[in-house]
Structure formats: C-alpha cells, structure tokens
Structure 1
Amino acid sequence: MARNRIETATDLAQSAARFYVKMLSQPMTALSGIMALNQEIARSLAGASELEADKGDKRFKDPVWASNPGYRVLMQTYLAWQRGIDNWVDALDVPARDKLRVKLVANLFTDALAPTNTLGGNPAAMKATLEQGGNNLIAGLQNFVEDMAGNNGLPSMVDKTKFRVGENIGTTAGKVVHTEPHLELIQYQPATPEVYKTPIFIVPPQINKFYIWDLAPGRSIVEFLLSQGHQVFIVSWRNPTAEQADWDMESYVEALDRASEVACEISGSDRLNLVGACSGGITAALTIALWGARGIKRAESFSVLVAILDVAGNKDTSMGLFANLETLELARLFSRSKGVMGGSDLERAFAWLRPNDLIWAYWVNNYLLGKDPQAFDILYWNADTTNLPAALHGDMMDLLEFGGLTGGNGPTIGGHKLELGQITCDTLVLGGESDHITPWDGTYLTTNGLGGTWQYVLSQSGHIQSLINPPGNPKARYYTNSANPGTPQEFLAGAEEHQGTWWLHWAEWLAGHGGEKVAAPKTLGSKAHQPGVDAPGTYVLMAA
C-alpha cells in the first residue's frame, strides 16, 4: 500500500509545547480554578455541596458514599479536583486537539488516583476486609502476583479456564473450504431447507479472532443469519509471527479477493453480501473499492459495523486524537523491532482507553475484594489476542494519519487509488451509542463518502455489545432516520427509536439483497474446493 510521507503540525511534542506556553502565560486561569476548587471543598466540608458522580460512574454506586459524611466529603473532594482539572484545561486558549491530548493524559492520572482504588477509600473493600478478617487481601495478593507474572501486568478480566474454542464457544457446524497463508475460509452448514442464493461473506477484524461472530447458541450472529435462511462464509485470519512481518494491507485485500472468488464459486452466485466490523470493515471497504476501481461487480451489499472510514472528518474527536504522527511513529517502530505488533500490546492500549471500566474495576475486584474474575465469553474472546504484522500495522496507522478513505487521501492498492466513492452497492452503516473505540458520530461520517445508497443504524450499546445483541434483550433499542441527513447531530434530532435488537432490522435489509431462494446445499464446499477440517478451523487456535 504505497504512501508518501508528509509532515504534520499536530504531533504530540508540539501539542505539549503549545499547552505549557499557554499555561504559563495564563496564570490567572489556574488561579481561578484553584479558588473554585477550594470553594467547592469548603462547601463539601460544610455539608452544602451538591456534587454527585456522573450517572454512569460505577465507582461511587455504593450507598455508603451518600450516607456516610466522611466518605461523602472524600468523594466530593475527589470529584471537585477531577472536574477542576478538566475545567482548567477547557479554559486555556489552545487548539481543540491539544486539549484532547492533555485531557487524555490528565484523566489517566486522576482515574488512577481515585479513592476507590485504595483499601481505605473503598467502602466495599473495607467491609469485605472486616467480614473476612483480611482473607480477601491475602487472596488479592495471590491474584496480583499471578497477574503480574501471567497477564502482562494488568488485572485479569476473565477466568480463561472455563472456555475452549470449538467446545463451548465457536461451535456452529461448518467446514474450512479454502486455506492460504493469510486466512482460512469457513462455510457453515445451512439451517433451513431453502437459502438465499446470494451468500453472506463476513470479514472479521485482524486484531481479534473471528469467533466473536459465533460465541454460543443464542448469542451467535452466524447462528442467527443461518436461521434467517442465509448461506454464511466467514474469514478466519492467521495469527502472524515475525516471519509474516511483511504482510501489508494490500496482501490482506488480495487474500480477501481470492477468498471471495471461492465463496462465489461454491455458492454459484456472482454476488456477495459483505459484512465487516472494526478493522475488518476497513479491509472489506478497501476490497469493495478495489473491485469498483477494477470494474468488478461482486458486492451486492455492504454492512459496515462499528468502523471509522473517514478519519479526516474526525480530527477533533477522541478518535482523531490517535491519528498523531509522533505516537504512530513510535508504535510503528516498536512493531518493526519485533516483526509484529503483539496482541497483548494492543489489548493494553485499548484497556487504557477506558481505564475505569477495563483496569481499575478489576483492580478492585481482584486485589481489594480478593475475588476471581468472572467467566464471560466476550471477555474471554477479548483476552484471546492476536498479533498484527508490522507492515499491516504501519498501513493501518497510515490510514489514520492520512485521513482514511476520504478527502482524496485514500491508499493505493493494486495500482488503484481507493476512495469510499468507489463503493457503489447498497450499504448499511452501524454505530454504537456508547462506543469508546469507534465513536458513533465518527462512524456516521462514513455515509458522506459512499458512492451508493445507504442507511445508518444506531444501536444503544458499546463497541462489542452492539454486535452481540441477540433478540430477547428487553433493554435493547436502536435508532434510524430515513431522511439520511448529512450530520450525526441531524440524524439524532430526527431519529426514530425502535425497541428490540437491530439484528431484526438488519435481517429484513439483508433479505432484500439475498436474491432468489434455492434448495440448501446438502454438502459443503465444491469439487474445486473440497471441505476440509471442521469449523472453527486451525488458524483460530494459533496462540499469540
């Protein structure tokens, strides 16, 4: 994927320099903040403060924080200090992206120093210590030693001993029908007497293993699609080592192109309904754009889920923050030094995006309360990490740096400059309302660059929960807006709320792109592509 290096004026060092210059030149801003903080602390000590934790802040849910005067003062003092730092940064006259960078670092600092992360500052931990005579702390110390030695220095989020891929997770019946260095292609056994002729072709992220699409009965997207009468193919990416350091984005796109030809040959259809999520959505989009550039009409539809393809429009969002040249260069050099970007490194990076939920909550559970982490399939999948080849990692970072697939800065693959406008099939774009990795308003911007008709669906959940959203959840809801407005704000203002999972809406949309119904194949594969090992295949079992 060819690129030409350009200079950027928004690197981290320059942001820090601008911030410190403004901080020193605006001392009254800091003084005003300190005075406001002292006043709020005085109100708290006098019992007159109205400061409360945010509705979604789980750290202060224990009723003791409200009923005990000492704990209430401690909470309000901490919140006043935390919000005072945010307000101080907001008040400085610096560019918005500089503020985002400073806030990121400041929040890591204030989150780490929350009283709830300490024994004395956590009512639940103090209660457990008194009731158990300190046995919780002994168990916590054991958990701490084990995590430092075997979990990359992070608190464990899941009991990994309760799951076995292919035994109680990733169990839908199917066969590997195509294998090459980059991937295995799995075809699943149809679940209905008749199936839509146009199959579904799923492209998972390269940074995770594919079985998030096939967790467990009742929670499997693959199972759901099969029940709706679809033929389903899915890619299982190989977990690369240093030997595959030179695998770049172009090689992954070409591998997808070959695998899609196999799916077409087996199904007897010249069209596919492509589905891609997160980085898999980026790779699928590049593949469809390449087909458009080559004049190949293989995509009947495209479902792009929780993926940001327009980075140029996201420069002032939390996602745009990570398109920082210096940070990306350091990460790229690190991956090149080992040949791969380690899965554990990626896991750590994502965890620090939401430290309260993904680090400190488990710090309290594992070490202060002395409890074992829970057995939850999504958390097991999240911990079952994969590596990224250095070349692919570099290309993904370039996509962030150069603006994604819009603004005339799309990558060149196979000699073709690729853009979102080359995707002319019908497209459904999904975002998650509380997604912290690909914020939904960032995913919405994808719609502005597409070359065909589109619709946007907003799920109420986060990055992964938006995907794993089976029928039956009474809290599930999603939003649509048939007017297809140009901005996420306009979408939300005129959106229609629907109760239930977006899966059912998606199934209706996919049925409109499934083509005619034909008899379900009695056997998997074809003469040219004989079925091999059972799903979930062999690549998914490769350790990081």
Structure 2
Amino acid sequence: MLRSTQGRIPATGVSGPGADRGEPLTKTAETKIALVTPDATPDGEGRADGFGATDAVRALTGAVGQGRVVLRESLRLGLELTKIAVGSSDVASAEGDRRFTDQAWTGNPFYRRVQQTYLASVDAIDGVVEEWGRRVDHRHAQEAAFASTVLTSALAPTNYLLTNPAAVKEAFDTGGMSLVRGARNYVSDLRRNGGMPQMVDPDASTVGVDLAVTPGAVVARDEVAEVLQYTPTTETVYERPVLVVPPPIGRFYFLDLRPGRSFVEHAVSRGLRTFMLAWRNPRAEQGDWDLDTYAQRVSDAIDEVREITGSDDVNVIGFCAGGLITTTLLNHLAATGDTRVHSMSYAVTMLDFAEPAGLAAFSAPGLLKMVKGRSRRNGIISARDMGSAFTWMRPNDLVFNYLVNNYLMGRKPPAFDILAWNADGTNLPGALHVQFLDIFEDNTLATPDAMTVLGTPVDLGRITLPTFVSGAIADHLTNWKNCYGTTQLLSGDSKFVLSFSGHIASLVNPPGNPKSHYWEGGEPGPDPQAWLGAATKKTGSWWEPWADWVSERAGERIAASTRLGSDEHTVLGDAPGLYVRDLLPSPTA
C-alpha cells in the first residue's frame, strides 16, 4: 500500500541527532529548488518563499543521508518498478488527486506506467523524509518535507507537455492553438506576475463593484487603518457592537466577498452592529510599524466604535493574525483593569507555536536572516514576497495546477472570488514581520513575560474574557490543535468549534451548503483529540454557532438606526473605503 502522494509536512518530530549533510548533494538540490521557486536563492537572501532554500535543502539532504532508510526504500522502489514494467503493479493515485483524472492515466499503457513510476518514486521519497521527521525536531522535519514536496510536485508528469495526455489531446484538437495561447499566457505572466502563473483572471472582478459590496461607510480613518460601519438590514439590532479585526496580511474583503458569501453580510443579517478595521497597505516609509502600532490601532478603533454606538464596551472577533494582534491588546487591558472589551472570538488564530504547524515554516533560520536583512534595506516585505511564501506551501494546488491550465492547456485562469482576493496581496512592515517570525521561532507569545507590547509584558493567563475559538480540520497554515490551544492559554470560559475545511475555505463558509459541517462540543479540556472524540458533528457553517454565541453577549435588542457614524465621527465615504484599493484621501479631505 502506497502512502498519499499529495505532499505532506510531518506532523511531529522528536529531538535527536541529525545525519551528516553532503555538500555536493546540497548544491545540486539548491539549484533545483531555485528552478521551481524563483523567489528563493541558495544564500537565503532571496524573497520569502516560506523557507530559505539552504535551510530546506540541507534538511532534505540530511534526510537522504540516512543510508539504511534510503537502501530500504530503494529496494522497495526497485521491486515496484519491476511490477510496473511488466504491468502487474496496482499503484494508483490517491483519491482526490486531480492531476490524474484523465482516463488515459489508467487506460493507456504508456501513461499508466509513467504515472505509476512517478507515484512509486514519490512514495519512496516520502518514506525517507517521514523517517527523518521522526528523528529530528519539527522544524527540520518541516524543512525537509517542504523541499521534497516542492521537488516532487515540480517533477509530476502532468507538468510537462509530452507526459500530460490531456494537454497533448488539446494541442491536437486545436491545431496547436492551445500551445500558442499558452505561450501568450506565459509572456503575460512574465510581464504582470513575476513569472508565476496567474491563479485568476485579474480583470474579472473589481473591489467595490463585484467584491466587498455590503453597504456601509467609512466612519474613521488615520494613517494605519480605516474603520467601516455597515448598514443594518434588520429592524432591531443588538446593543453591543462587534468589531472585526482582520489580519494585516491580505485585504479584509475575504470577509466580504460576493453577496451570499460574505461573513459581514451574515453578521449584519443576524442583527449585529458590525464594524470592520480595514488596514492600510504599508509602504517602505511605514516599515517601522510593529505590534505596538497595530495593537494601538485596535484600541483606538474600539474607542471609535464605542463613541459611535454609545456602548460602554464591544465584542471583538479576530481573524488569523488579527486575533494575535488583538490578544496583545487584551493582555494590556487586563493588566491595567480596562474593561472596554466584553468578549473575544478567534477564527483560525494561533497563539501557541510550541507544536508544529504550517506557519512555523516561516521560522527557518535562513528566512529569519533574510527577512531582517531585507527589512533593514527595504522596510517592508512586499505583497509578491508574501504571496510567494504562502503559495509554495501548497505547490500542487497553487502553482502547478495553474501552470498546466494556463500554459499547457492554453486556457485563461478562472474567475473566482477567493482567488481574486488571494491575488490582491498586501505588503507587511518589516518590523511587524520580524516580530511575527520571532513569535513563530521562540513561541514568545505563549511564554509569560517573554515579550512586551504597549509597555506591558505579555502573560496570556491574565486574560479572563469569555472566548469563542474556531479552527479548521484541514488547515495547512494554522493547525486546528494549535488553535484549540488558545482555550488552554487564556483564563476565561471558552467555547471551541471545529470547521470541516481548510484555512480560507473555513472562513468563507456561508450557511446553506449541505456539504458543510462542523464539530461542536462541551467545555474544552487539555486534550484536543479527546474533545473531538466527544464532539457532535453538525451540518452547516460555524458562522451560525458563532452568531448565536456572540448574540448572547450582545445585550438587548434596540431599534436600528439608518444613520452611520456620529457627530464626532462623520461619514468619510462609502464602504469598502479607500485603503482596500490602495487609495489615499486628498489633502483637503
């Protein structure tokens, strides 16, 4: 039985001695990594592809330096290749592997052998890397898995014309025009997308026209962020407002995609007085913005929302890194006896990085060195670099899938709202990025007094607010068990809900999809697996139990007002605002 060939990062590792690293193999592998990750360079001074190339390749070299394991897997591979040659192998692609759906992969003897040879080879490599992952710490295990995943994904026969039966057929059926269109797409991507295949048609949708169209207004603005207030759609609303804090990595409108696929729209429909913090896309001159800058802006937004609504306190929900930033503020508020926040909700947010997770990929020493150097020179990590970092964590889905579609098949990239958002990246201030990397590397956020924000040493145990925590069972960035760990770090009552899907898919999860489900259980204990075993699987979206939970903490229902803003915070313009479109107010505004 072969392992899955989708490319996994080992889930765990035990500290132990590493194998010797052979220099010639290291250099060869670094060159191959550079070929398939053009933003990486062997000296670790390239763009942020998620790992420094040297770190990843050295880890992979250590893995293949296990002589006994390599011999075992080589013998197993040799036996399987013999079966493939004589047509007796039962090797098949994993269920859900969309690369091999064409009938020729099973019906044509040549293509079947090509596929089976590739799958058997990847399985042997996986065996070597997984054995290495059991012997070393989780960071080195992740680095080796990353390198092997990129390399094996790049070598898939589907990525090459002559070994992709669907592409060959398309070329014949179109008289070669598919290849002409593919060449044009490639030239366009060289000019417009840094040589990476476009994931989405960039002209298919427009922010404020097709995306981010929930009615509302900008009611506050400073150099760091805008605050949006959304128009009520119910006759009555809950008295206590909700402030949504998105991550500064990416734009906020993944929470407000098309109508029917908008978290904001759903919250408003439930009678929640909803406000959104919309971060400005920083430039080099904002490179010194750090956790203090962002946490202080959340604090200011809370005051702006309180003044507009007349509420003494607010409920807050933080998404991804937005939850991390808000937590540093909550620590400060708890230490100073400030009660402006009534409850806190977390969506796919990690606070504890002691256990392996996809985001820990960004803590490789080579990458840390590179980021700090680039931060000193450029002030920011660019949107392209950030996009590359996340893209190469899922190379089959986010790179080679579009290489085949755009270049080999000669098709336009699809028009899809999530992909449009994903392609609309933002920069990240170098100072904030370095702090994030330090948190990933040293787990300083979860270690009492290991870091200071807003002048207050961070000790998460002092936060006693009620919390709603959600994770996603297939999340490749923020492992759900790490998200669950938030319930143990904070001291207040907590509720945990687990979504069925991946990172972004769990967030864009509107009710009404019969295939969607989530797990809901009792009070979270120390063991996440035990919680899951006792939890109840329910059809629907986690948006619903969240809205129920926060509504219970939102006070009385009062008559909704159509007026947005206040005398002090007047309307500055319509939602989605200026910052989401990289616009700045005129000097006279």
- What is the TM-score of this pair, normalised by structure 1? 0.94
Aligned to 1:184: 226
Q: How many residues align?
A: 533
In structure 2, the partner of 1:332 is 372
AA partner of residue 121 (structure 1): T
The alpha-carbon distance between structure 1 residues 463 and 110, as it changes in their structure 2 partners (threshold 3 A), is: same
Would the alpha carbon gap of residues 245 and 96 (structure 1) be closer, same or farther in structure 2, given more than 3 Å must change?
A: closer
One-letter code of the match for 1:527?
D
Deviation of 1:478 after TM superposition, in Å, equals 0.4
Letter in 2 for 1:473: N
Alignment-mate amino acid for residue 34 of structure 1? S
The letter for the 2-side match of 1:280 is: G
Check the 8 A contact 1:209/1:540 in 2, yes or no: yes
Deviation at 1:20, TM superposition (A): 5.0
| 1:528 aligns to 2:568 (yes or no) | yes
Q: CA deviation at 1:19?
A: 6.9
Q: Cα–Cα, structure 1 residues 394 and 22, in superposed 2: closer, same or farther, change >3 Å?
A: closer
The residue matched to 1:386 in structure 2 has which SS?
Answer: coil
Give per-residue Cα distances to partners, 1:197-255, cap 9 Å, x unaligned: 11010001101111111112111111111111110110111111111111111011111
* Cα distance change on mapping 1:54 and 1:449 into 2, 3 Å: same
Q: Which runs of 5+ in 2 are unaligned?
A: 1-16, 19-50, 585-589
Offset of 1:108 from its aligned partner? 0.7
Match of 1:296 in 2: 338
Contact 2:357/2:478 (<8 A) preserved: no
Deviation at 1:22, TM superposition (A): 7.4
For 1:85, the equivalent position in structure 2 comes to 125
Question: 1:18 and 1:253 mapped to 2: Cα distance?
Answer: 36
SS at match of 2:506: coil
Identity %: 40
In structure 1, what residue type is equivalent to 2:206?
Answer: R
Change (3 A) 1:105 1:404: same
- Residue 135 of structure 2, aligned match among 79, 88, 94: 94
Q: What is the CA–CA distance in structure 1 between the aligned matches of 2:188 and 2:62, rounded to whole Å?
A: 44
- 1:460 equivalent in structure 2: 500
CA separation in 1, counterparts of 2:307 and 2:442?
36
Task: After TM superposition, give the deviation of residue 483 of structure 1 in Å.
Answer: 4.2
State whether residues 245 and 319 of structure 2, in contact with CA within 8 Å, keep that contact through their aligned partners in structure 1: yes
Which residue of structure 2 aligns with residue 400 of structure 1? 440
Moved over 4 A (4+): 9-24
Judge conservation of contact 1:399–1:410 (CA < 8 Å) in 2: no
Q: Secondary structure at the match of 2:93?
A: coil
User: Alpha carbons of 1:378 and 1:243: their partners in 2 closer, same or farther (altered >3 Å)?
Assistant: same
Q: Match of 2:243, as an amino acid?
A: F
Aligned AA (2:511): P
Task: Note the 1:469-508 alignment, pairs <5 A.
Answer: 469-508=509-548
Tell me the distance in 1 between the aligned counterparts of 2:515 and 2:56: 42
Aligned to 1:255: 297
How far does the alpha carbon of each residue in 1:337-359 deviate from its partner, in whole angstroms, 9 at most, with x for none?
Answer: 21111011101111000000000
Q: Residue 332 of structure 2 contacts residue 453 of structure 2 at CA under 8 Å; is this kept in 1? A: yes
Q: Specify the alignment match of 2:181 in structure 1.
A: 139
Secondary structure, in 3 states, of the residue corresponding to 1:107? Answer: helix
| Equivalent position to 1:439, from 465, 479, 494 | 479
CA distance in 1 between partners of 2:102 and 2:110 (Å) = 14
Hey, what does 1:369 align to over in structure 2? Answer: 409
Give the whole-Å Cα distance in 2 for the aligned partners of 1:348 and 1:22: 25
Q: Aligned residue for 1:75?
A: 115
Which amino acid is the alignment partner of residue 101 of structure 1?
A: E
Structure 2 CA distance for aligned equivalents of residues 336 and 461 of structure 1: 38
Give the residue type in structure 2 aligned to 1:398.
Answer: D
Rate the CA distance shift 1:311–1:404 in 2: closer, same or farther, 3 A: farther
2:505 counterpart SS class? coil
> RMSD of aligned C-alpha atoms?
2.1
Provide structure 1 residue ranges, at least 5 long, that are not aligned to the other structure: 1-8
Distance in 1, matches of 2:62 and 2:423, equals 41
Of the three residues 205, 220, 245, the one matched with 1:203 is: 245
Work out whether 1:537 is the aligned partner of 2:567. Answer: no
Structure 1 residue 194: Cα displacement: 1.0
Structure 1 Cα separation of the partners of residues 131 and 300 of structure 2: 54
CA–CA distance in structure 1, aligned partners of residues 135 and 165 of structure 2: 39
1:116 aligns with 2:158: yes
Return the offset for 1:381: 0.9
CA distance in 2, matches of 1:22, 1:396: 28
d(CA) in 2 for partners of 1:91, 1:119:
34
Q: Give the match's secondary structure for 1:160.
A: coil
**How high is the TM-score relative to the length of structure 2?**
0.87
Indicate how the Cα distance of structure 1 residues 17 and 376 shifts in structure 2: closer, same or farther if over 3 A, else same.
closer
Partner residue of 2:77 out of 31, 37, 40: 37
Whole-Å separation in 1 of the counterparts to 2:59 and 2:561: 64
Q: How many Å apart are 1:450 and its aligned residue?
A: 1.2
| Farther off after superposition, 481-490 or 242-251 | 481-490
- The aligned residue for residue 559 of structure 2 is 519
The corresponding residue for 1:5 is none
Within 5 Å, give how 1:343-382 maps onto structure 2.
343-382=383-422
| Alignment correspondent of 1:450 | 490
